[in-house]
Amino acid sequence: MAPMAVVRRSFVLLTLSMSLATAFQPIRRSITTSFTQPTSVRSTYPHPTTTTTTRFMSSDDDNTPGLPFALPSLNQIFFVWLTGVAGSRLIKLAPLAASGSASQSILINVAINVVLFAGCLTVLINSLRGIDYTALEGLDSKSLANQAGEWASSDIIPTTYKEYKVATFAGGCFWGTELHFQRIEGMMATCIGYTQGKITEPSYEQVCSGTTGHTEGLQLLYDPTICSYERLLTALFATLDPTLLNRVKNDKGTQYRHGVYTHSLEQAQSASKFVENL
């Protein structure tokens, strides 16, 4: 086997093994679906010298960016191609391997392509599978993912849950935003997901492509007797520059735009007043 062919196939096998490891990771505290909120408050000017303004937007606002259908991710395109390559090679090599007189190199090629074909097909199937919301973590793990998944699937905009209130924000990459809010006293549970956008249940790869119109968001459950909504707004705006459009620190793109997605008129009024006083 030529040295370059060995290097090329080793690289493909490494990529496949990494993708398989990702495909079989346990479900995280996230919901890959679209939160549906009645209004949002966000800054609309990209230049630091401008003032921050407020825009209220209905949940069916047609100005939400994004395509009305999901495009395949780069990973999916790559593995479709790799599945086709491995499959075509197997079709050519299978008769030789079955003849009984195949050389050792042919048998090795067959084995490699069987692994590639099966592995790539597994990755593709896993990438197309939807999220089982019933399997997501619940309040016993201080996660709101299970309940938030049920709300989103049922197109419910909750204001409270039990004795607690619900809030939704976007502040760039949702991992860091979630950790920031988890440290606030009175925070009962959090989860991450996507809000706005044109399609339901987008994948992480699709949102990262910037084509779906979603933004990475955080939904949380807090105790209003300990932590006020204004305290949450202060925590959000402490992590971002509200005059920058589609950017939070080094994260750039429409999927990283910041926003306050209110669940009630009370929250909308508080958010509007807070933004006006920035």
Active site (catalytic) residues: 173
What number of CA atoms fall less than 13 Å from residue 246's CA on the CB side?
Answer: 9
Distance (Å, rounded) from C-alpha 255 to C-alpha 47?
A: 19
Of 138, 130, 129, 149, the closest CA to residue 35 belongs to 149
Of 167, 183, 145, 175, the closest CA to residue 251 belongs to 175
How long, in residues, is the chain?
Answer: 278
3-state secondary structure of 117: helix
What residues contact 32, with CB distance under 8 A and at least 6 apart? Answer: 131, 193, 194, 201, 202, 203, 204
As a dihedral over the C-alpha atoms of residue 137, residue 18, residue 203, residue 133, rounded to 10 degrees, the angle is -20
